[in-house]
Copies of this chain bind each other. A is one copy, B any other.
Amino acid sequence: MPSAEINKVREYWDRQGSADVRPSIEEMRLYDDYWATLTGEPGQVDYIDATVGGVPALWAIPKGAVWDRVIVCFHGGGYMMGSRYSHRKMYGHLAKAVGCRALLVDYRLTPEHAHPAQVDDAVASYRGLLEQGIRPAHIVFSGDSAGGGLAIGAQIRARHSGLPLPSGSMAMSAWTDMTLSGRSYDSNRSKDSVFRREMVGGLVHMLLGAEPDLQNPYVSPICADLRGLPPIYLQVGGDEGLLDDSVMFAERANAAGVDVKLDVFPDMLHSFQMAAGRAPEADDAVSRLGTWARPLLGLAPHR
């Protein structure tokens, strides 16, 4: 049975899904702060504002972190909300679980900035890290929701730019498919009051404009040539409208020969890892990410 603490995630989404009035962009962005209240403060994590590769960012640095290993984190928010601050605690937990530094990238948002601003910023921040001397094999990408798609799309883009790839990526509730082909939009519609085709379609419009290329591989990595990508670990909630964005992506990545791992968490909703530090389900998920990433980064299995 879901914990009382994880039910706060459901309450949060249900409150948004049941709003009578469509909120303005400004109001939606204020929700970021409420989103962040789902997460417990990790503690013993320092937060340093920075600019990396010309992109605003936030270092989340656990005490005792291995300095030359880095998780590059792309926050969620449908490409139009969220920030390095809304997600600092959640990625702070992840950084603690891995035992290294995390860099939260504040890529530009829609509707002020359409595609490819987001993937440009993602790659620029990665390039900036490489220029700081961090080895690609010591970097892992991560992201939730839109940021989960970006964690994969940015690799496609980085490869097209001739950059070496990171050691792997970890995506939570990734949005990988702008064509909205997932059947889970239908099968989970009664359970997920927010991530429905009509809402997500609005996000597509803001990102890609009036004549969208829905199969653009940088924002729809499910449509990309995935061969040669490093290992990918996908986590997704069983009750999500976006469930199939992970399930179908895992199938295609697997068919392309990618080392892919998928965990579907029963009864969970979108980005439930935001309840890290509060809910056992979220802490378990974050712990699994840490266990997966440490050997990938050449670290001992346990901190």
Q: Which residues on A are within 8 Å of B, measured CB to CB?
A: 30, 33-34, 36-37, 41, 43-49, 63, 83, 85
CB distance from A227 to the nearest CB of B (A): 41
CB distance from A79 to the nearest CB of B (A): 20
| Neighbouring B residues of A34 by C-beta, 8 Å | 34, 37
CB distance from A108 to the nearest CB of B (A): 16
Q: Interface residues of A: mostly helix, strand, loop or mixed?
A: mixed
| Neighbouring B residues of A47 by C-beta, 8 Å | 46-47
| Bound-state Cα–Cα, A179 to B44, Å | 38
CB distance from A107 to the nearest CB of B (A): 16
| Neighbouring B residues of A44 by C-beta, 8 Å | 49
- B33 with A37: CB separation less than 8 A: yes
Candidate in A44, A48, A63 with the most chain B CB atoms within 10 angstroms: A48
| Neighbouring B residues of A48 by C-beta, 8 Å | 46
| Bound-state Cα–Cα, A199 to B207, Å | 50
Instruction: Closest B residue to A63 by CB, please name it.
Output: B49
- A45 with B49: CB separation less than 8 A: yes
- A43 with B37: CB separation less than 8 A: no
Closest 6 CB pairs of A and B: A33-B37, A41-B85, A47-B47, A46-B48, A44-B49, A46-B49
